[in-house]
A and B are shown apart, each in its own frame.
Chain A
Amino acid sequence: MSKNLFSQTEALIFDKSRPGHKAYFLPEMSIEKLDKYRVIPSHLIRRTEADLPEVSEIDVVRHFTHLSSKNFGVDTGFYPLGSCTMKYNPKLNENTARLPGFSWLHPYQPVETVQGALQLMYLLQVSLAEITGMDKVTLQPAAGAHGELTGIKIIKAYHDSRGDSKRTKIIVPDSAHGTNPATATMAGFQVIEIKSSPEGDIDLEALKAVVGDDTAGLMLTNPSTLGLFERNIKAIAEIIHGAGGLLYYDGANTNAIMGITRPGDMGFDVVHVNLHKTFSTPHGGGGPGSGPVGVKEFLAKFLPIPTVEYVDYKDKYKFNYDVPETIGRMKSFYGNFPVIVRAYTYIRALGADGLKKSSEYAVLNANYLKKLVGKHLSVEAPDRFCMHEFICTPKNIQETGVHTLDIAKRMIDYGYHPPTIYFPLIVEEAMMIEPTETEGIETLQDFAEVVGAIVTECKTYPEMVKTAPHTTYVKRLDEVKAAREPNLRYRKPIVV
């Protein structure tokens, strides 16, 4: 029987289970096995085993190899997922993260035995401080949103330390990523959403109308989620600081600005960057990420514990748990260390020149692609240069009745991962395209050509687009059914 692997549904690993099959070999015991009933109270002993599959090694390897073939990564093809910076993930970084001297360390090893790891963390902290124009950095946050929570808590701690307890509000533009308002709520703030101009700039008048002595701070993404540099940034900083609030910088879009401009110099007090975006670490199918936070000197005393410090007179590195007004701890241990090693490797390889050039070419690629795609679709802010990403919409072909979702799905048939869609919320039918600097001119040209071809299809044969994708092994999936009749785990069929 011949099978086409790529069109075939992959059975669940549980369905492949056969009694007696095994794939594990544990070290032989030379001690007599202990009777568990002698040492553990019987009601706390497991009565039935967790029903894990019984499979052989080759079954496991084939199962996950097949699953991988049903996935699309940056290595598969162009992945212009806006706001996510899906740049190439250097293979070198995979190797350095796996060096035994980094990977086989226990978090509680004596510090003398992990000096290299601490030094690496310290050097990354210093590098990120330099890139963002901040004074001190913590690597503890496990992702961007976790960095946001860390940063907003630092802002809260600052106001609290001054006895300024009436500052209960965080201002967030309506163009912000969902994690911004969600974070402000988790930190105990009330979220004040303000409207952005159609180009995604902060409306200064709207901002002035909401700031006051209850303003704890503003969370801002710059370049904005429309991929544009906020031209009024200095005025915004003055308004917020003038009212006694602090400025939080969502650094998801740092890939546009390395060596070109720095959040610290723009007046921001707290910044997070995403190592899994700007600093090339792989996204892992959804994580791990890493969201280091940088602060200005006056906020350093609130950083989460432990911090990593260099002890000058001993030429040694250490963890410091003595941070007088720390917000506390954000997670166990110290951060996503393997991600930290990859990001450090990247910065070490590129140096100042390479980083700046990366940002320049990220912006060049985006503007070039904007120009080409703009021949087929409406682009937002057509008269401005975008930064590392831009937004387009099918407004110009509205009459075809084809939506952004359809176009995105059709792109899959042509071998691309679709852009981010329906974000930011303030642009209807948004398609957010971020090519990154690691793509070549031909990829950009081919992609734009495909956009043109799809637009032609929209006009001549819209059904083709509306029912896409056609070439994948599953077609559009029923999300309503998934939500209404949740099936969230496998259960063994009951045999009667």
Chain B
Amino acid sequence: MNYIPVTELEKEAMLKEIGISSIDELFRDIPEELRFKGDLKLPKGLSEYETRKALIKLAKKNTDMNQLANFMGAGAYNHYVPTLVDHLLSRSEFYTAYTPYQPEISQGTLQNIYEFQTIICELFGMDVSNASVYDGATAVAEAMVMACDKKKNEIIISKGLHKEYRETVETYANGMGFTVKYAELEDGITPVDAYEAQATDATAAYVVMYPNFYGCIEDIQKIAEAAHARKALMIVSVSDLSAMGILEAPGNLGADIVVGDGMPFAGPLSFSGPNIGLIATTDKLARRLPGRICGMTVDTEGKRGFVLTMQAREQHIRRAKASSNICSNQALYALANNITLSTLGKYGLKEMAENTLTNAHYCRDRLLEIDGVEMLYDQPFYSEFAVKLPIPARVLQKHLLKSEILGPVDMGIFEKELSNVGLFFVSEIRSKDDMDRLALAMEVIINEQKFI
């Protein structure tokens, strides 16, 4: 099939108007030896019905979370997203538009960005947010670019930052001439000394995850004080965004740049990709932000309206000297975040966070009743905790699936020596029954496996 509305007859009329007799003539600028001969080796096209069938068949080869009780997080956190979100996202005036280059007919997108920027600033306790970057990992990389310059060209990152974020930052740093150093964890959190041991005059920023990759809540205030004493910036990467319903906003604890990922509020996790990189900062650093920023202004009749602004930072104006190369971002998920967080509101987010905290702790207590299961670190946590298991996490995972339970994340995929560590994520949507079932199934599996 195809989506071409022009008929054969119409085509003939068009060719006539152009003054040629075949479409092929239009391609005469392409040197003959470069013309592709024959057919692309692709499966034959299908009708709409057949295509849908083919895709359903592929989808069926996956086990989706709706059939399971999910205990996996590690950067992809499954919280409640109201039904209305996808309905509103699906209004095609939103999703079939592009970047609001023509503000007079893009006020819907623009007002959304303005509201989104406000909500992100509220969550993080910051002055300014942009309209999004790709994901949480590239947001840390962009924050590094904001913080570093020729003289201050190194950053010190806590080992408690998500492994994939660290790898991404390294990729970005390599080539830009920035050095990435690491502050080691001690009992699951990053002591100030671990940063201080690495710091030099060239240190541009300290980076920490809040709560960190192992679920532990870092004391970002202490770290920020130490960073500032060194004239370095404090970059905080928020892991599970819903934590902002319970944990102090990083901006109120000394952060200069706060980043995160709005994936939990964008809709179903979709394997990967409804990610949305959040990045917010102080008024002072606003002009170093990457990407689109929306501002309020007035029209020629004095009516309130919104435009993209401070564009002198961006690639289409600054080209080789731009603050980033980003052009398309994750706008649709900014809309989703605005809708979800507006729906939850002030008290919904708080309730979500408090219920998550309660559930995660209940679940932890249940799991610790099992012989041989211990906390990896004994630190305050929010929605995630890592436990040492008497069997490989991968084996546990496999057997739990039979009980329709997904999780935990096998920490061995990030650090080989942690293959007996499972990272459990528990949110407000897990029922007591889910958690009891998990504890029970785990106990049985561990007892069986221990003797194999």
Q: List chain B residues, Cβ under 8 A from A483.
A: 295, 309-312
Q: How far is the CA of A354 from the CA of B4 in the complex (A)?
A: 9
- Can you name 24 A-B residue pairings with CB atoms under 8 Å? A9-B303, A24-B344, A34-B354, A34-B362, A39-B381, A49-B350, A60-B343, A89-B95, A108-B410, A110-B398, A113-B401, A120-B58, A191-B319, A283-B328, A333-B272, A335-B272, A351-B42, A417-B102, A437-B6, A440-B5, A477-B305, A482-B296, A482-B309, A488-B296
Which residue from chain B places its CB closest to the CB of A67 in the assembled complex?
B108
Fill in one digit per residue for B327-363: 1 if any A CB lies within 8 Å of its CB, else 0: 1111111010011011111111111101101110110
Q: List chain B residues, Cβ under 8 A from A285.
A: 94-95, 97-100, 106, 108-109, 112, 331-332, 335
12 further A-B contacts with Cβ under 8 Å, apart from A27-B355, A228-B29, A284-B94, are: A70-B106, A92-B48, A178-B314, A179-B325, A185-B322, A283-B96, A285-B109, A285-B331, A328-B170, A332-B136, A352-B42, A437-B6
Q: How far is the CA of A372 from the CA of B329 in the complex (A)?
A: 35
Q: List chain B residues, Cβ under 8 A from A282.
A: 92, 95-96, 332
User: Which B71-93 residues sit within 8 Å CB-CB of chain A?
Assistant: 72, 74-76, 78, 80, 82, 84, 86-88, 90-93
Which residue from chain A places its CB closest to the CB of B25 in the assembled complex?
A385
Asked if A41 is at the interface of the complex by the 8 Å CB criterion, the answer is yes
Interface segment out of the listed B127-135, B196-204, B437-445: B127-135
Asked if B235 is at the interface of the complex by the 8 Å CB criterion, the answer is no
Asked if A298 is at the interface of the complex by the 8 Å CB criterion, the answer is no
Asked if B54 is at the interface of the complex by the 8 Å CB criterion, the answer is yes
Q: How far is the CB of B26 from chain A (nearest CB, A)?
A: 5
CB pair B31–A52 under 8 Å, yes or no, is no
Asked if A188 is at the interface of the complex by the 8 Å CB criterion, the answer is yes
Fill in one digit per residue for B16-35: 1 if any A CB lies within 8 Å of its CB, else 0: 01100001011111110111
Q: How far is the CA of A186 from the CA of B172 in the complex (A)?
A: 8
CB pair A262–B27 under 8 Å, yes or no, is no
Interface segment out of the listed B226-234, B241-249, B369-377: B241-249
CB pair B327–A143 under 8 Å, yes or no, is yes
CB pair B171–A348 under 8 Å, yes or no, is no
CB pair A50–B346 under 8 Å, yes or no, is yes
Asked if A330 is at the interface of the complex by the 8 Å CB criterion, the answer is yes
Q: List chain B residues, Cβ under 8 A from A407.
A: none
The answer to whether A101 and B59 touch (CB under 8 A), given A92-B51, A131-B40, is yes
Which residue from chain A places its CB closest to the CB of B165 in the assembled complex?
A332
CB pair A349–B6 under 8 Å, yes or no, is no
Q: List chain A residues, Cβ under 8 A from B91.
A: 64-65, 68
Which residue from chain A places its CB closest to the CB of B131 in the assembled complex?
A286
CB pair A117–B328 under 8 Å, yes or no, is no
CB pair A103–B326 under 8 Å, yes or no, is no
Q: How far is the CA of A331 from the CA of B140 in the complex (A)?
A: 10
Asked if A142 is at the interface of the complex by the 8 Å CB criterion, the answer is yes
Q: List chain B residues, Cβ under 8 A from A355.
A: 40, 42
Q: How far is the CB of B409 from chain A (nearest CB, A)?
A: 5
Q: How far is the CB of B366 from chain A (nearest CB, A)?
A: 10
Q: How far is the CA of A32 from the CA of B362 in the complex (A)?
A: 9
Q: How far is the CA of A43 from the CA of B246 in the complex (A)?
A: 11
User: Which B114-164 residues sit within 8 Å CB-CB of chain A?
Assistant: 114-115, 117-119, 121-123, 127-129, 131-132, 134-138, 145, 162, 164
CB pair A68–B5 under 8 Å, yes or no, is no
- Chain B residues with a Cβ closer than 8 Å to the other chain, count: 213
Which residue from chain B places its CB closest to the CB of A142 in the assembled complex?
B134
Which residue from chain A places its CB closest to the CB of B51 in the assembled complex?
A349
CB pair A68–B93 under 8 Å, yes or no, is yes
Q: Which of A24, A76, A95 contacts B52 (CB 8 A)?
A: A95
Asked if A495 is at the interface of the complex by the 8 Å CB criterion, the answer is no
Q: How far is the CB of A159 from chain B (nearest CB, A)?
A: 11
CB pair A486–B275 under 8 Å, yes or no, is no
The answer to whether A286 and B329 touch (CB under 8 A), given A31-B358, A332-B75, A489-B118, is yes
User: Which B290-328 residues sit within 8 Å CB-CB of chain A?
Assistant: 292-301, 303-307, 309-312, 314-322, 324-328
The answer to whether A288 and B333 touch (CB under 8 A), given A57-B84, A96-B55, A183-B325, is yes
Q: How far is the CA of A220 from the CA of B109 in the complex (A)?
A: 32
Q: How far is the CA of A340 from the CA of B271 in the complex (A)?
A: 11
A-B residue pairs, 3 tightest by C-beta: A351-B45, A101-B59, A116-B61
CB pair B96–A74 under 8 Å, yes or no, is yes
Q: How far is the CB of B358 from chain A (nearest CB, A)?
A: 4
CB pair A469–B104 under 8 Å, yes or no, is yes
Asked if A4 is at the interface of the complex by the 8 Å CB criterion, the answer is no
Asked if B403 is at the interface of the complex by the 8 Å CB criterion, the answer is no
Asked if B282 is at the interface of the complex by the 8 Å CB criterion, the answer is no
CB pair B346–A479 under 8 Å, yes or no, is no
Q: List chain A residues, Cβ under 8 A from B70.
A: 106
CB pair A371–B18 under 8 Å, yes or no, is yes
Q: List chain B residues, Cβ under 8 A from A92.
A: 48, 51-52
Q: List chain B residues, Cβ under 8 A from A40.
A: 217, 246-247, 357, 380, 382
Q: How far is the CA of A191 from the CA of B379 in the complex (A)?
A: 49
Q: Which of B101, B357, B413 contacts A36 (CB 8 A)?
A: B357
Which residue from chain B places its CB closest to the CB of A286 in the assembled complex?
B331
Among B26, B43, B127, find the residue whose CB has the most chain A CB atoms closer than 10 A. Answer: B26
CB pair A31–B349 under 8 Å, yes or no, is no
Asked if B368 is at the interface of the complex by the 8 Å CB criterion, the answer is no
Q: How far is the CB of A400 from chain B (nearest CB, A)?
A: 21
Q: Which of B5, B13, B330, B351 contacts A142 (CB 8 A)?
A: B330
Q: How far is the CB of B336 from chain A (nearest CB, A)?
A: 10
CB pair B175–A153 under 8 Å, yes or no, is yes
Which residue from chain B places its CB closest to the CB of A263 in the assembled complex?
B34
Fill in one digit per residue for A53-87: 1 if any B CB lies within 8 Å of its CB, else 0: 11101001101110111111111100101001011
CB pair A130–B108 under 8 Å, yes or no, is no
User: Which A184-200 residues sit within 8 Å CB-CB of chain B?
Assistant: 184-188, 191, 193
The answer to whether A44 and B65 touch (CB under 8 A), given A418-B102, A488-B286, is no
User: Which B241-287 residues sit within 8 Å CB-CB of chain A?
Assistant: 244-249, 252-253, 261, 267-275, 286
Q: List chain B residues, Cβ under 8 A from A477.
A: 103-104, 297-299, 305-307
Q: How far is the CB of A432 from chain B (nearest CB, A)?
A: 12
CB pair A486–B310 under 8 Å, yes or no, is yes
Q: Which of A45, A116, A412 contacts B247 (CB 8 A)?
A: A45
The answer to whether A356 and B40 touch (CB under 8 A), given A99-B56, A283-B98, A364-B11, is yes
Q: How far is the CA of A467 from the CA of B90 in the complex (A)?
A: 34
CB pair A337–B138 under 8 Å, yes or no, is no
Asked if A166 is at the interface of the complex by the 8 Å CB criterion, the answer is no
The answer to whether A357 and B4 touch (CB under 8 A), given A71-B94, A333-B75, is yes
Asked if A360 is at the interface of the complex by the 8 Å CB criterion, the answer is yes
Q: List chain B residues, Cβ under 8 A from A46.
A: 244-249, 350
Q: List chain A residues, Cβ under 8 A from B217.
A: 40-41, 44
Asked if A146 is at the interface of the complex by the 8 Å CB criterion, the answer is yes
Q: List chain B residues, Cβ under 8 A from A179.
A: 315, 325, 327
Q: How far is the CA of A72 from the CA of B103 in the complex (A)?
A: 10
The answer to whether A127 and B42 touch (CB under 8 A), given A22-B345, A52-B346, A368-B17, is yes
Asked if B41 is at the interface of the complex by the 8 Å CB criterion, the answer is yes
Asked if B406 is at the interface of the complex by the 8 Å CB criterion, the answer is yes
Q: List chain B residues, Cβ under 8 A from A225.
A: none
Fill in one digit per residue for A89-113: 1 if any B CB lies within 8 Å of its CB, else 0: 1101011111111111111111001
Q: How far is the CA of A469 from the CA of B122 in the complex (A)?
A: 35
The answer to whether A328 and B272 touch (CB under 8 A), given A108-B409, A178-B322, is no
Asked if A12 is at the interface of the complex by the 8 Å CB criterion, the answer is yes
Asked if B44 is at the interface of the complex by the 8 Å CB criterion, the answer is yes
CB pair B358–A34 under 8 Å, yes or no, is yes
Q: List chain B residues, Cβ under 8 A from A336.
A: 272-275
Q: List chain B residues, Cβ under 8 A from A103.
A: 64, 267-270
Q: How far is the CB of B286 from chain A (nearest CB, A)?
A: 7
The answer to whether A441 and B342 touch (CB under 8 A), given A30-B432, A104-B269, A333-B164, is no
